[in-house]
């Protein structure tokens, strides 16, 4: 796994491409439910996003380069949204299973003392 902050690429285009790769890796891992390296990928993704955000606010060349590569920025935004939708669906599925288990755990059975009265 690449260390984003320490070995960050020089150009903002390279950083965008690195972000794109991280987002694609994140989606693959989420889809496969392979969560072992997911925290590291998310940490690197977050650090890279923060770095790009800070640079775009303070470095005019960053803003210019990001606007020149608007298509890639939009692709990264789309990938992030797709990943978020997948996470939300997986959380809903887990919540559904938990609700089902809790609901059935609360149902009285005919073998409890309360039902024998």
- Structure pTM? 0.73
DSSP 10: S
Q: Classify residue 98 by burial, with Cβ atoms within 10 Å: 0-12, 13-18, 19+.
A: exposed
Query: What is the per-residue pLDDT across 44-89, written as a single tens digit (0 to 9) for each?
Result: 999 999 999 999 889 888 888 889 999 999 999 999 999 999 999 9
């Amino acid at each position: 796994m690449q260390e984003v902050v320490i070995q960050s690429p020089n150009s903002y285009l390279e950083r965008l491409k690195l972000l794109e790769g991280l987002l694609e890796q994140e989606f693959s891992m989420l889809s496969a439910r392979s969560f072992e390296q997911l925290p590291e990928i998310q940490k690197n993704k977050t650090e890279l996003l923060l770095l790009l955000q800070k640079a775009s606010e303070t470095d005019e060349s960053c803003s210019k380069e990001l606007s020149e590569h608007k298509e890639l920025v939009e692709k990264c935004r789309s990938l992030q949204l797709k990943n978020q939708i997948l996470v939300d669906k997986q959380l809903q599925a887990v919540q559904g299973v938990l609700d089902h288990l809790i609901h059935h755990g609360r149902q009285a059975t005919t073998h409890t003392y309360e039902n024998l009265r």
